[in-house]
Amino acid sequence: MEKIHLNDTFIKLGQALKLSGFVESGVDAKYAIQEGLVSVNGTVEYQRGKKLYPGDMVSYKKKTFQIEK
């Protein structure tokens, strides 16, 4: 499992997908989220602006990363 380190209090889901390298662009993140392919803490998430905090886990295409401080 990969880890994403935060410099701020939170990161938005679309930004985290780009930072992790799971998607190449914001547009790719937008479509993946809209199509219900991304889950946060085991629940499908449809909001690109969903705020992620340390401890949150994101899954996309059988890959997972965790948010860390």
Could you give the dihedral angle defined by the CA atoms of residues 8, 14, 20 and 25, in that order, rounded to the nearest 10 degrees? -130
- CATH, residue 25: 3.10.290.10
Q: What is the pLDDT confidence band of residue 65, given thresholds at 50, 70 and 90?
A: very high
Its domain, for residue 12, covers: 2-68
**Nearest residue to 11 via CA among 61, 63, 64, 48:** 48
The span from the CA of 45 to the CA of 34, in Å, is 8
Q: With 90 as the cut, is the pLDDT of residue 13 above it?
A: yes
Count of domains forming the chain:
1
Are 45 and 56 contacting, i.e. CB atoms less than 8 angstroms apart? no
Matching residue, tokens 């937008």: 30
pTM of the model: 0.90
Phi-psi region at 59: left, alpha or beta (left = phi > 0; alpha = psi -120 to 50):
beta
Q: With 90 as the cut, is the pLDDT of residue 50 above it?
A: yes
